[in-house]
Amino acid sequence: EVKLVESGGGLVQPGRSLKLSCAASGFSFSDYWMGWVRQAPGKGLEWIGEINQDSSSIIYTPSLKDKFTISRDNAQNTLYLQMSKLGSEDTAIYYCARAILWVFSFDYWGQGIMVTVSS
Amino acid sequence: DTVLTQSPALAVSPGERVTISCRASESVSTGMHWYQQKPGQQPKLLIYGASNLESGVPARFSGSGSGTDFTLTIDPVEADDTATYFCQQSWNDPYTFGAGTKLELK
């Protein structure tokens, strides 16, 4: 069974940094592109970015490219999202997701982790 | 960025046929996908590559379109289909989502 479990969320002060993790199991993690999507309270989905199998290609939505960094550790079957200079606009549920090979839609999603940016 | 435009909301009766549209600001070929999201849950993939039904998704769901105009069809609609439906394109970098269409049952 494919499972994606996010962790590392919570309350963070404006201007600080936070690193989310996504533990993957039930599939060969190193064979798939992986991505992050977020959803602000009561809002729609926002694509953050994706990383390829060996981390040689990482793509971001332009507005977040200077703030967020996606990485992965295939030995640990874990995906990461490093977030810096956080503001209230970054308050959201953050989802990690697996991308279908060659199609790049997300076929499996984690349950999401809440990040609240507030003083 | 490729902007995806969806109607905000629809209301239909159970048993009816409903079409949810998504229009792209530029061609995305067949790189369009559809997701269903119910309150408090993560999104669920329904259709990928414009018209391919994801495994385990009922055949009541279907997708069509190419280029800039896409449609998700549910026929017949059931009460459990109450949800928000998002389109997403993965043809042009950065990939983008539509704002979602909230489907309500009468």
Per residue in B87-98, pLDDT (tens digit) is 999 999 999 999
DSSP 8-state code for residue B7? -
To test the contact with chain B by mutation, choose from A94, A102, A105, A114 the residue with the greatest count of B C-beta atoms within 10 A, namely: A105
pLDDT at B100 over 90: yes
Contacts of B35 in chain A (CB under 8 A): 45, 106
What does R_g of chain B's alpha carbons equal in angstroms?
Answer: 13
- Measured between alpha carbons, how far is residue B44 from residues A42, A56, A70 in Å? 17, 28, 22
- Measured between alpha carbons, how far is residue B65 from residues A81, A106, B28, B73, B102 in Å? 34, 19, 10, 11, 20
Question: Which residue of chain A has the CA closest to B90?
Answer: A104
E strands, chain B, where?
4-6, 9-12, 18-24, 32-37, 44-48, 52-53, 61-66, 69-74, 83-89, 96-97, 101-105
Question: Which residue of chain A has the CA closest to B57?
Answer: A107
Beta strands B9-12 and B101-105 are parallel
The pLDDT of residue B87 is 98
Contacts of A112 in chain B (CB under 8 A): 42
| A54-110 residue pLDDT tens | 999 999 999 999 999 999 999 999 999 999 999 999 999 999 999 988 888 999 999
Is there a contact between A105 and B98 if contact means CB atoms under 8 Å apart?
Answer: no
Q: Which residues contact A28 (CB under 8 A, 6 or more apart)?
A: none
The pLDDT of residue A100 is 87
The answer to whether B64 touches B42, Cβ cutoff 8 Å, is no
| Nearest residue to A8 via CA among A19, A17, B29, A16 | A19
| Nearest residue to B4 via CA among B96, B102, B101 | B96
| A22-31 residue pLDDT tens | 999 999 999 9
Mean local confidence (pLDDT), B6-12: 93
| pLDDT grade for B57, boundaries at 50, 70 and 90 | very high
B98 touches chain A (CB under 8 A): yes
Mean local confidence (pLDDT), A2-18: 97
